[in-house]
Amino acid sequence: MNCNKIILNNSINKIVIILGIVLLIKVLTLNSLISQETPQSKDQCYNCHLQLDGKFKAPADMFKVDVHFHKGIFCSACHGGDASSDDMDKSMSKEKGFIGIPKGSQILKICSKCHSNEYNTLLSSAHGESSTGKGIIISSCIVCHGIHNIVPVKSPSSKVNGANIVNTCGSCHSNAAYMKSYDPGLAIDQLDKYKTSIHGQRIFKGDSKVANCASCHGNHDIKHVKDPKSRVYPTNIPQTCNKCHGDANYMKEYNIPTDQYEKYKTSVHGIALLEKGDNSAPSCNRCHGDHGASPPDVNSVTKVCGVCHALNAQMFSDSPHKDAFEQKNLGECTVCHSNHGIVHPTDDMLGTGKRSVCIKCHTQPQDRGYQTASVMESMIDSLNRDVDIAGNAIQNAEQKGMDVSDAKFSYNDIKKVLITTRNIVHYSDLNKFKESINEGFKITNKAKITGEEAVKDYYFRRYGLGVSTILITILILALYFKLRKTEKKQ
């Protein structure tokens, strides 16, 4: 027992000694850190302003949170002078490079000492010299990042972070008097629109993942909207939106599809814009809005599509489908044409065939809609057959040298009739459909008859010529033999 007590006491003593040594080391280390000078303790400009009052102290107080402060950068790095001297005459001597408060292009040149890449990018941007052509910078570094209180971009207090950046951009772009000096035609309601968008609503609730100004326009490399290099130039917008909306991992918490861009590329709109370079073709912002971007409500789809397809939208609004779609809360145009993957409409979409869109809703043969679609399909097919027959008749007559120019001219009107009839389908009114398509049958019937009669006339002329030739030949032979007979008698 005594041996065990001795061993236990020795162990406790050792533990106490070790803990004491560790504690002593920590105290000595802490004292060393406390006594160690920070870089700013040698910055006499900072130390002096810290002891002043009012507007002279404010920059020093703000500088405490500045990223440059924590990087050990002295005031003289931007303002010039000798920061190591506490003598004002020496520290603020022009001989030491003191410039006081930097102004205009001086600011960018000072920032460019460390941030040269950003500086060069900014010069060629919409905010840089190239935009004005006068060597004037529209927006310098401090306008967006702040002065003396610049913090890392990822910091919630940064002027260019998350929800803050929209207000930072809005400070200029919502100022009518300021913007008038640079681009009087540029709208100044972008921020107000953004606040109504799905992006704006979410970002002001603390969702930093949604798109802000820089997400779409860039930061230092912002280009004018009309510049083909701009991220929001018409042909570039789909890819800009796809950066977020095409990333399944990034978008998974929002529970929305991420295949919009892939569908759009194959759509009639995407092919027109991306492959044919037609900048008037709709991209993402034409349907969803740009600064006020939001998914179109099912009841507003017709109005969105109707911006370009006004006649079709009006026809649909006057059709029986309008009330039916509203009652069932269906997306009007999208039910038949889809949204991002819109393909060029064909006659196969009409009727009751496998590719028909009508049978999505009208599935039963006794259904009035089913019957209407079936009749329309049958009449369109009949007209297409008649178009081919009439066209062949006209072509056949032309090849035989017959003059069918008037019939051919009238026949060309069939294209207009077909376009009109296919659009009238949006009325879902069989009487209006028949009234339009019957004009087509009249044209094809006339063209077919004219062509066939011209061919008949051609053969009639050939046969007549043949018969005439035979008769003339017989007459010549008769005269010949008559003359021979007369000659013999003489």
Cα–Cα distance for residue pair 123/264, rounded to 1 Å = 35
Residue 301 and residue 331 in contact, taking contact as beta carbons nearer than 8 Å: yes
Cα–Cα distance for residue pair 201/452, rounded to 1 Å = 69
Residue 304 and residue 331 in contact, taking contact as beta carbons nearer than 8 Å: no
Q: Helix/strand/coil (H, E, C) string of 277-318?
A: CCCCCCCHHHHHCCCCCCCCCHHHHHHHHCCCCHHHHHHHHC
Query: For residue 328, how many C-alpha atoms fall within 13 Å in the half-sphere facing its CB?
Result: 10
The pLDDT assigned to 379 comes to 96
Residues with Cβ within 8 Å of 30's Cβ and at least 6 positions away in sequence, in order, are: none
Identity of the amino acid at 405: S
Cα–Cα distance for residue pair 459/361, rounded to 1 Å = 54
Domain boundaries, the chain: 43-94, 115-222, 368-489
Residues with Cβ within 8 Å of 342's Cβ and at least 6 positions away in sequence, in order, are: 267, 268, 269
| pTM score, whole prediction | 0.78
Could you report the average pLDDT of every consecutive run of 10 residues in the chain (490 residues)?
Answer: 48 58 52 47 87 90 92 92 89 90 87 92 83 69 93 92 92 92 89 95 92 95 93 96 96 94 96 95 93 81 90 94 90 91 93 92 92 95 95 92 89 92 95 96 94 90 85 88 79
SS3 content of the chain, % helix, strand, coil (to 5): 65, 0, 35
Could you write out the DSSP letters of every residue in 158-193? -TTSHHHHHHHHHHHHT-HHHHHTT-TTS-S-HHHH
The pLDDT assigned to 3 comes to 46
The pLDDT assigned to 466 comes to 85
The pLDDT assigned to 1 comes to 44
Q: Cα 100 to the chain's mean position, in Å? A: 46
Cα–Cα distance for residue pair 164/157, rounded to 1 Å = 8
The pLDDT assigned to 130 comes to 58
Residue showing tokens 């992006």: 199
Give me 332's structure tokens.
Answer: 């009007």
Residue 201 and residue 292 in contact, taking contact as beta carbons nearer than 8 Å: no
Residue showing tokens 């968008």: 197
Cα–Cα distance for residue pair 276/285, rounded to 1 Å = 19
The pLDDT assigned to 31 comes to 43
Residue 218 and residue 121 in contact, taking contact as beta carbons nearer than 8 Å: no
Residue 238 and residue 273 in contact, taking contact as beta carbons nearer than 8 Å: yes
Residue 245 and residue 261 in contact, taking contact as beta carbons nearer than 8 Å: yes
Of 127, 155, 157, give the one whose Cα is nearest residue 143: 127
